Amino acid sequence: MASPKIQEMKENWVVLLVAFMLVFISFGVPNFSLPWIYEPAMREFGWSNAQANGISTSKFLVGAASALGMGILIDKFGGKFTVLLGTLSGGVAMALFLAATNLGIYYLAGAMLGLSAASIVAAMKVVVSRIVSINQGLAIGIVLSGTSAGQFVMPIVWRYALEAGVNWREIFAWLSLGSFLISTPLWLIFMARKGETQDVINASSRGHKDGLTMWGHFKEVCKEKGFWLLALSIFLVSAVDQAMMQNYVTFLRRDRGLNPNEFFWLVSLVTFLAIASKIGSGWVYDRFSIPGIRVFYFLLGLSVILALPVAGIFTLTLFLVVRNIAHGGMIVEAPVITKHYLGPRNLGMTIGIVSVFVNLGFAAGPPVLGWLFDQTGNYTLGFTIYSGVAILACFLLLPLKPRYWNPPSKRKSEQEAGASGMQPAGA
């Protein structure tokens, strides 16, 4: 007979596959397309680096509100129709780039991408965290590896499309077909099935049944010891990770004089590390919880500083390898640390609250780094500061100990005693 860990994954492989596809199309595709549009947009319209990066601000500020709202909607109404909002808005957003000939429409398209991406990612975090308990980190890592799948595919798509002379706005519009023709129908077909998984996804939270509001829940959560350390750490690493994601192409072009056509294959190749790292980091978080998360925060800081000596294929490979391993641990950690430290009660609302800090970091990181570039003419100062910020986030987590997680060594005895595998530590 299969162990409980293996059995849990076998029972839920379909929902994990569907969630992976939704995250890939709604988050991975647009997010890893953005770094390739900044240079063409600046050339076409004369925008500054900070103005071009400003789309990240509009995307993730709206994303912060969307993540919060999605948590509320899922806890209150379930996930069936709320996820459709994310899939459809993503398609509309990418199509809107056809008209993005000024900053207003450009930022509006980014805002709608934020609604889509944050809604889908927040929803999938809640859905997977509800369904999977023993392997929560591993399952979320598998699902969120859809973001890194976008990192593999998009450099290839954009390289050949731009070489063929296709306008960057037209490329984005063509990518909208993924939302309309794949993710939306896939979710409708999946949710049309009858089963326990669909019932769990559509179930409302007991907290909402009892009349608990988001504001009331937030007041409860923010009183928890260490909440603000957790929130600040997640905000800081999200800012660093997204800033690197959105600026690395421009950095390699302008600071290092590398032709994107010469390194796109390497970027796509080492993306397999990010995919493996997302799954591997989930496995690490399941077994080591918050201490494992600190390791990936440290790697993120190290990866940023390793960008500075890039001069050839060896140093570029070293930077991209460490960068992708570190990136693999990001985003996966937020729902894990939320459940391990704050507990499973009203998980949709709690993940929504924490996701606000993720998206605020996403919104702040890229334009600030772009502004530092505009002021100094290169990325040296910005990368040095951002490396220190990631290391600071690592140290901010030192006082936090997991309270709703037990190490693997204790789980077997608890299962034999008939206890739940996810109880407050020490209970």
**End-to-end Cα separation, the chain, in angstroms:** 29
Whole-model pTM above 0.95? no
Give residue 427's identity as a one-letter amino acid code.
A
Ranges under pLDDT 50 in the chain: 207-208, 419-424, 426-427
- Give the closest residue to 364 by CA, choosing from 246, 226, 206, 195: 246
Burial of 294 (0-12, 13-18, 19+ CB in 10 A): buried
Token pair for 201: 């996804």
Burial of 173 (0-12, 13-18, 19+ CB in 10 A): middle
Token pair for 339: 């459940």
Query: Phi then psi for 203, rounded to 5 degrees?
Result: -70, 145
Residues 373 and 355: their CA atoms lie apart, in Å, by 28
Helical H segments across 24-102, by residue range = 29-31, 38-45, 49-77, 80-96
Token pair for 416: 């034999």
Residues 86 and 22: their CA atoms lie apart, in Å, by 9
Residues 342 and 356: their CA atoms lie apart, in Å, by 16
Domain extent listing, the chain: 4-416
Domain 4-416 classification at class level: mainly alpha
Residues 15 and 307: their CA atoms lie apart, in Å, by 37
Token pair for 135: 């392997």
Query: Phi then psi for 62, rounded to 5 degrees?
Result: -65, -35
pLDDT score recorded for residue 106: 95
Give residue 183's identity as a one-letter amino acid code.
S
The CA-atom distances, in angstroms, between 394 and each of 10, 242, 299, 302, 308 are 34, 17, 9, 12, 21
User: If you search the block for the tokens 């140093």, which residue do you land on?
Assistant: 315
The CA-atom distances, in angstroms, between 85 and each of 22, 69, 400 are 12, 11, 35
Query: What is the secondary structure of 128-175 as a DSSP string?
Result: HHHH-STTHHHHHHHHHHHHHHHHHHHHHHHHHHHHTT--HHHHHHHH
Give residue 330's identity as a one-letter amino acid code.
M
pLDDT score recorded for residue 302: 97
Residues 89 and 357: their CA atoms lie apart, in Å, by 22
Token pair for 321: 């390898």
Token pair for 422: 């996810």
Could you give the maximum distance between any two Cα atoms of the chain, in Å? 67
DSSP annotation of 21 reads H
Burial of 384 (0-12, 13-18, 19+ CB in 10 A): middle
In a 3-state reduction of DSSP, which class is residue 253? helix
Residues 69 and 348: their CA atoms lie apart, in Å, by 10
- Give the closest residue to 82 by CA, choosing from 112, 22, 123: 123
Give residue 383's identity as a one-letter amino acid code.
F
